[in-house]
Amino acid sequence: MDENRKTYVKNTGKAGITFGSCLAMVISYTTWHSVGWAIFHGLLSWVYVIYFVLRY
């Protein structure tokens, strides 16, 4: 049972959303109030976060 739990947690972490993507989507949504832009910026991940920090 313990081995099965470790495999589940390991696979969930690989398939989950990254911190950079989540941060980019939150910044984008609070700035532009658009789900479409938030998804797009989430795909860009850290690129958008760094751009936002440098630009604003």
Query: Residue 27 CB: number of other CB atoms within 10 A?
Result: 19
Query: Domains in the chain: how many in total?
Result: 1
Global pTM value = 0.71
> Domain residues for 19?
2-55
pLDDT, one tens digit per residue, over 2-49 is 555 555 555 555 557 899 999 999 999 999 999 999 999 999 999 999
Q: Three-state DSSP class for 14?
A: helix
Q: 36 to each of 3, 13, 25, how far by Cα in Å?
A: 40, 25, 10
**What are phi and psi for residue 11, nearest 5 degrees?**
-70, -35
How far is 1 from 42, CA to CA, in rounded Å? 35
Q: Which of 7, 41, 2 is nearest to 24 (CA)?
A: 41
